[in-house]
Amino acid sequence: MNERNGPVVAGVDGSDSALRAVRAAAREAGWRRCPLRIVHAFIWPLMHVDTGASEAVPQGGLRHDAERVLELAAAAATDETPGLEIATELVTGAPAPVLLREAREAALVVLGDRGLGGFSGLLLGSVAVQVTAHSTTPVLVVRGRTDPTGPVLVGCDGSAGANPAVEAAFREAARRGADLVAVKAWRESPGLAATQLYDAESARKEELEVLQDALDACRGRHPEVRVRAEVISGRAGQELVRLSEQAQLVVVGARGRGGFTGLLLGSVSQQLLHHAACPVLVARA
């Protein structure tokens, strides 16, 4: 599966979360050897608010503040990855629609998990929710520990919907020089376990074979990546959240086995976006 061309796009709003996302976006652009495009959605003109300077504050105004957000973000990106080609743009519109338009021409969209003005009780900002749910481009949500240490972690359930996540995880592990840990969650059926015909160890081996088959398609394209396959007992979302504490990145598909067609983001992906201890990459076909 070929990776999309285009820049890495980072959305910024002046928050600390957005600056962490810009630094991660700069690393991603450096690894991909592509430009970084930093975008700030400027909603005030749509609301007919005066955005310019005034006689009292000639260097002030909302537009000046927005341009300053972009300047600080570009400086953070340059500091993270010197020599990177960086473009900044102030785009009129609400954040989620602006970023979804930007995503059409992007290789990757990078967002912070929270923005300015977020309610403290919310675990994930509304912009991140909307963009990850509707983007046709892979989205990286930067949360938790952002130091690039530990393995890349990928969840795989054996469905066709997991293939983009497995492919993306191999690429990310190769870029980072990291190991890849592929996990398939397996829940033993209490009803089957009570029967004499049920062999738990054989069932686990079958689950491991399904996982290995999903990995084999990518091993040949990324022979440099060391891979460990694990079948673990428990719920996929909970186990991946737990394992994310030791990972530098967790990769999931937008949808998994048994998902309802009307849902744009699977329950496992949603759990990780809200609770993972490291950045989360949502991959799509």
Domain boundaries, the chain: 8-142, 152-283
Looking at per-residue pLDDT, the higher value among 88 and 48 belongs to: 88
Categorize the per-residue pLDDT at 226 as very low, low, confident or very high, splitting at 50, 70 and 90: very high
What is the pLDDT averaged over residues 57-65?
64
User: E strand or H helix at 231, and its extent?
Assistant: strand 227-233
What phi and psi values does residue 157 have, to the nearest 5 degrees? -110, 5
Fold match flag (8-142 vs 152-283): yes
CATH class of 152-283: alpha beta
The share of the chain scoring above pLDDT 70, in percent, equals 80
Looking at per-residue pLDDT, the higher value among 183 and 202 belongs to: 183
DSSP 160: G
Distance of alpha carbon 285 from alpha carbon 274, whole angstroms = 22
Lay out the sheet containing 152-155: strands in order across: 86-92, 36-42, 8-11, 108-112, 139-142, 280-283, 249-253, 152-155, 180-186, 227-233
Residue 126 has pLDDT above 60, yes or no: yes
Categorize the per-residue pLDDT at 195 as very low, low, confident or very high, splitting at 50, 70 and 90: low
How many other CB atoms sit within 10 Å of the CB of residue 71?
Answer: 12
Categorize the per-residue pLDDT at 1 as very low, low, confident or very high, splitting at 50, 70 and 90: low
Residue 121 has pLDDT above 80, yes or no: no
What phi and psi values does residue 227 have, to the nearest 5 degrees? -120, 135
The share of the chain scoring above pLDDT 90, in percent, equals 51
Q: Which CATH number fits domain 8-142: 3.30.70.420, 3.90.1010.10, 3.40.50.2020, 3.40.50.620?
A: 3.40.50.620
Residue 15 has pLDDT above 80, yes or no: yes
Categorize the per-residue pLDDT at 201 as very low, low, confident or very high, splitting at 50, 70 and 90: confident
